Amino acid sequence: MHDELNATLSAGESSTEHGPTRRNFLALGAAAAGALATGSFGSAQTATCIDIPERPTAKRPDPQPNPRVYSDKETLLAFRNHGHFAEFLDQPVTPLGMHYLLVHFDVPKLSANGYEISIGGRVRTPKRVSLSEIKARKQITEPVIMECAGTGRSTFQPRGIYVPWFKEAIGNYEWTGTPLRPLLEEAGLLDDAVEVLFTGWDTGVDLGVEHAFERSLPIKEALRDGVMLAWAQNGQPLLPQHGFPLRLIVPTWYGMASVKWLRAITVLNQPFKGVEQAKVYRYQKSATDPGVPVTVKRVHSVMKPPGLADAISRYRFVAPGRHLLQGMAWSGTGAVRRVEVSTDGGRTWKDAQLGRPGGPYSWTPWRTEWQVTQPGEYVLSSRATDTAGNIQPLSSAAIWNRQGMGGNVIERIHVIVQPGVGRSGDHVPSRPRQAVSGADMPPPTK
């Protein structure tokens, strides 16, 4: 185990000061040998069709072949790392608490009192900046479409093992913060600066290594418009699980770049090689492929599922007639140029009408009408194209990677068209159903 772990992490194990913490976990096997008390009541059965170890491992489990079978560990992660509610995809800003969440370890408990971050490394003037100093600086507010790099992991076959996202790893909060660039410029980047490292207060163990969550950006990306240190979402202090009291926001990149619970900003003169950079967020074709880094969001779109939901299968029921199909599209590689919709499982496509995004980093609304007369089962999909010419793939085969990163395959919403659906509840005296515009729902800013 010891040698295997060293081999796996060799890139990050070198004696650079910015590799992963040197207190690696090498005793996973030893601890297992000393197992004390696993069996005095109850006992876990061994699964025969999914193979994910119960205990910590120094490597990711192998991808699993069956898309309909998940382990208890993955289900636990799904409960912790909740998704966006697709029925709110008609809202330009994601309501509080509906944004997707990915927390690798535990949510740290931090105090706003006395909170400060360090800005150091290859800068002329290392400093510590307090939260109140940060909040007194220039303030910007922008809706930013955020998406987990592991989006669509469960659409790959075999599928990588970590949080088993389908299509719900998205959100579009309005973030309030201060631009990062002036802070870096005031600290004074030295000539040999190549990357900026962001370290969070969240620590834990992954891939056999204890480490704080930390990720770097190339200098050019760190200086980009829109990159900010944010202390509020939707007009109120960050929720603890979203990075209270301060986090980074990096538009266009997948969510892992937007480091939460920010503790330190360190300018580096060489590329960062920590666990989350060198091992976790990679497009890899095999376990030994070092892969290429996951960076900007691939072009993607999602649809608000029409009609009524079945409680367990989540199939949709709609009556024959005209239905508004609507949703959101975005891309990290350009603006959204086109969204097409299919109602026959991807055989034929029809252009949807695009709306205006709420800002330069927000998602783009789209809509079209679906007229259906024939009862039966339909599969609805949307497909976005961006100004760089990127288009969502119909199958995840072409983009398969071992860890299930960047899964932007088109989604498939199963709908059962059936007469008489959607008028329940009339046995209770009531006025006609209320408007569902959401126009005066709980305000996104307050």
Site for a copy of itself in 17-46 (CB under 8 A): 17-18, 21-23, 25, 27-28, 30-32, 34-42, 44-46
Binding mask 111-150 for a copy of itself (x = CB under 8 A): xxxxxx-x-x-----x-x----------------------
Least Cβ distance, residue 357 to a copy of itself (angstroms): 21
| Cβ-based nearer residue to a copy of itself, 296 or 372 | 372
Identify whether the C-beta of residue 274 lies closer than 8 Å to the C-beta of residue 214. Answer: yes
Nearer to a copy of itself, 242 or 297 (CB): 242
Q: How far is the CB of 154 from a copy of itself (least distance, A)?
A: 7
Size of the site for a copy of itself (CB under 8 A): 162
Cβ neighbors of 38 (< 8 A, separation 6 or more) are none
Residue whose tokens read 């491992």:
57
Q: Which is nearer to a copy of itself, 216 or 252 (CB)?
A: 216
Total count of residues recorded for the chain: 446
> Which residue, 296 or 319, is less far from a copy of itself as judged by CB?
319
161 binds a copy of itself (CB under 8 A): yes
Task: Answer yes or no whether residue 418 interacts with a copy of itself by CB under 8 A.
Answer: yes
Phi, psi of 281 (to 5 degrees): -95, 75
Closer residue to a copy of itself (CB): 110 or 226:
110
Q: Which is nearer to a copy of itself, 138 or 440 (CB)?
A: 440
User: Could you give the CA distance from residue 424 to residue 127 in angstroms, rounded to a whole number?
Assistant: 62
Residue from 173, 272, 370, 378 binding a copy of itself (CB under 8 A):
378
Q: Is omega for the bond preceding 95 within 30 degrees of 0, making it cis? A: no
Using the rule CB under 8 A, is 182 a contact of a copy of itself? no
Q: What track of x and - describes contact with a copy of itself for positions 56 through 85 (by CB under 8 A)?
A: xx--xx---xxxxxxxxxxxxxxxxxxx-x
Report the DSSP beta bridge partners of residue 203: 212
**Residues 15, 48, 125, 286: which binds a copy of itself (CB under 8 A)?**
48
Residue 204: closest CA among 215, 212, 194, 196: 212
Q: How many angstroms separate the CA atoms of 274 and 254, rounded?
A: 18
173 touching a copy of itself, by CB under 8 A = no
Residue whose CB is less far from a copy of itself, 54 or 185: 54
Q: Are residues 244 and 261 in contact, defined by beta-carbon separation less than 8 angstroms? A: yes
CA separation for the pair 2, 416 (Å, rounded): 54
Between residues 364 and 396, which has the closer beta carbon with respect to a copy of itself? Answer: 396
Token pair for residue 312? 């367990």
Minimum distance from residue 360 beta carbon to a copy of itself (Å):
27
The span from the first CA to the last CA of the chain, in angstroms, equals 53
Are residues 200 and 1 in contact, defined by beta-carbon separation less than 8 angstroms? Answer: no
The answer to whether 183 touches 198, Cβ cutoff 8 Å, is: no
Q: How far is the CB of 387 from a copy of itself (least distance, A)?
A: 25
Which of 11, 210, 224, 338 binds a copy of itself (CB under 8 A)? It is: 210
Residue 21 corresponds to which tokens in the numbers above? Answer: 């913490």
Residue 310 sits in the site that holds a copy of itself (CB under 8 A) = yes
User: For residues 273-302, which are near a copy of itself according to CB under 8 A?
Assistant: none
Region from 132-140, 185-193, 286-294, 344-352 binding a copy of itself, contact rule CB under 8 A? 344-352
Our finding on whether 436 is near a copy of itself (CB under 8 A) is yes
Residue 226 or 410: which CB sits closer to a copy of itself? 410
Q: Per CB under 8 A, does 205 bind a copy of itself?
A: yes
Alpha-carbon span 47 to 302, nearest angstrom: 34
Residue 341 and residue 349 in contact, taking contact as beta carbons nearer than 8 Å: yes
Q: Is 174 exposed, middle or buried (0-12, 13-18, 19+ CB in 10 A)?
A: buried
- The single residue among 109, 124, 138, 356 that binds a copy of itself, judged by CB under 8 A, is 109
φ, ψ (nearest 5 deg) of residue 220 = -60, -40
Verify binding: residue 14, a copy of itself, rule CB under 8 A: no
Q: Please list, in sequence order, all residues whose beta carbon lies within 8 angstroms of the beta carbon of residue 419, skipping any fewer than 6 positions away.
A: 319, 320, 375
Single out the segment in contact with a copy of itself by CB under 8 A; choices: 136-144, 289-297, 328-336, 424-432.
424-432
Footprint (CB under 8 A) of a copy of itself, residues 215-254: 236-242, 244
Taking alpha carbons only, the member of 24, 29, 30 closest to residue 53 is 29
How is residue 135 annotated by DSSP? H
Q: Is 377 in the site for a copy of itself (CB under 8 A)?
A: yes
Neighbours of 73 (CB within 10 A): 16
